Chain A
Amino acid sequence: MQDTPDQTPDPDPAPAPAADPAPGDPRDPLDPHVLTGLDLPPERLRAVAAAFADIRAAIEELRALDLGETHPAVVFQPWRGPR
């Protein structure tokens, strides 16, 4: 029997290095349009982000609160049909 090279695929291959996308390329996973899902011109997107700045600050304070093991106020309940 002739020896053959092992053809078993590597079960955990390292990701291939991605080519740097061109700036503004919507396939870029870090592109703001991809991140926000907002199909807006760049200047409009900048305006939305700028207007969000004060709200972002308030939400960052919310994120910083240690709420321990508190469950959310709105929780899932299985639907039992119309009441």
Chain B
Amino acid sequence: MTAPGDPTRATIGELSALLRAGRLSPVELLDALTDRIRREDGRLAAFVHLSETARAAAERAHAEIAAGDWKGPLHGIPIAIKDNHTTADMPTRAGSAAPGTDYPLADAHAVARLRSAGAIPFAKTRMHEFAWGMETPPTRNPRDPSCSPGGSSGGSAAAVAAGLAPAALGSDTGGSIRIPASLCGCVGFKPSFGLIGRSGIVPHSWSLDHAGPIAASVGDAALVAGAMAGPDPADPGSLGVAAPDWSEALAGGAGGLRVGVCRTHFFEDLVPAVGDRVEAAIAALARAGARVTEFALPEIGQGLGAIFAIELASSTNYHDRRLREGAVAGFGADVRLLVEMGRLVSGADYLQAERFRRHLAERLAPVFDAVDVIVGPTMPLTAWRSGETEIRIGGRAESIVAVSWRLTYPWNLLGLPAISLPCGIDGAGLPVGLQIAGPVLGEAQVLRAAAAAERALGGPMQRVAAPA
């Protein structure tokens, strides 16, 4: 167990044991984190707001735990919140400085559930404006401050990787939890569409948006996601079910697990180090007892037009009043362009995209009769230098934006649970992400496989100091 003197390096599981035993108080933990944020975030730029009420909440949690009123493993744990989740005690800007983009001071459904579980939302993290991008400027990647942390939940991943938050919330429309988790060396988990209610999260694309945590270990991600999940009457996409207890799955191991490896799309045009680390992780799962089956599914790589059509049309529709009134002139140049572009998508294109989603789901269904999970890389590449727009893979120049979400967006089109966890580093010391997906409401097998892979690879990736 990590010593109480170093609480910013501990997992939530370790912190929870210390808090419950009275060896660490929620106030000490919160102060340790906020002191480090005040000292170090000037260089990292992961946070946009610190709560003024969090310390009082920590004092209450301390008194409750001391009195034996322990609410569970998140009681007294500070959690950072992506800036597109509304919060009662902190302003929400969705990463935008544009006028007319104020949101209510009220807890989003997922945030309220975390408070009920005893967690302490203590800060808001920086995000790419309106969740429409892969970079989150000016946030820096703690693994290499010259590199991008990814996006759109880049502040959340950078904060967790630097040990400035035990966990942080993200949102994922085409990969925005898993991409920054992969680039920063964290765990990012997107449960099935609708398992976590999204009311109070600024919409980006209603039928693609998922909420979920970024954390330092698979077990921590499961704890936070489990607390966030549950029926949300204000979200029409809510599945209306509670999360089961995943603790048994986390301990289940790889023995007998049926692991599918889709060689089409997911293993094409990878940076060599990514392919090498992911193959090594699959081999480690096999040595731990998993049965690996390879398969091909050409349709999985045909979804780019579909996700573009849905995401552009939805985002433009959400911002339509701002578009008509010229208020998008206050958006960042990249986001303004995308919002304007959505008018070029036709209604027929949108419906073709929705028909493709059903078609893809029907083609994939038999695969999940034969395998429990599908494993592959989270991204074709590792973190790129901030400001770079192109990368050469296999001798061909490609747009980083186009490359970065290629392997994550299929799981948004399908609404299926997917997790990214670190599976090693490249020659420059930058993390490589392993992505594991499962069938709808197959979170237990996804978490079982992820926890088994994490153990087989030597445990969670250690966090690093914020850049000097």
Contact = CB atoms under 8 A, between A and B. Distances in A.
Contacts, number: 83
Q: Sort chain A's interface into a size bin.
A: 20 to 34
Nearest to B304: A58
A51 interface: yes
Given A55-B312, A83-B240, A62 B306 contact: yes
B233 A67 contact: no
Contacts of A16: none
Contacts of B59: none
Contact of A73 (B323, B324, B349, B354): B354
Given A51-B341, A83-B233, A83-B240, A59 B305 contact: yes
A73 B305 contact: no
Contact of A71 (B231, B323, B343, B358): B358
Contacts of B308: 55, 58-59
A29 interface: no
Contact of A61 (B302, B312, B326, B343): B302
Nearest to B351: A72
Given A51-B341, A52-B344, A58-B305, A65 B356 contact: yes
Looking at chain B's contact residues, the main secondary structure is: helix
Interface string A50-81: 01101110111111010100111110000000
Interface in B333-363: 337, 340-341, 343-345, 348-349, 351-359, 361-362
B355 A72 contact: yes
A60 B359 CA distance: 17
Interface string B377-404: 0000000000000000000000100100
Contact of A67 (B207, B343, B349, B356): B356
Contacts of B361: 73
A67 B352 contact: yes
A54 B305 contact: no
A71 B355 CA distance: 5
Contacts of B312: 55
Contacts of A63: 305, 348-349, 352
B309 interface: yes
Interface of B: 207, 231, 233, 240, 302, 304-306, 308-309, 312, 323-324, 326, 337, 340-341, 343-345, 348-349, 351-359, 361-362, 399, 402
Q: Which 8 A-B pairs have the closest CB atoms?
A: A62-B305, A72-B354, A73-B357, A58-B305, A59-B305, A73-B358, A58-B304, A36-B343
5 contacts: A40-B340, A62-B352, A62-B356, A72-B357, A72-B358
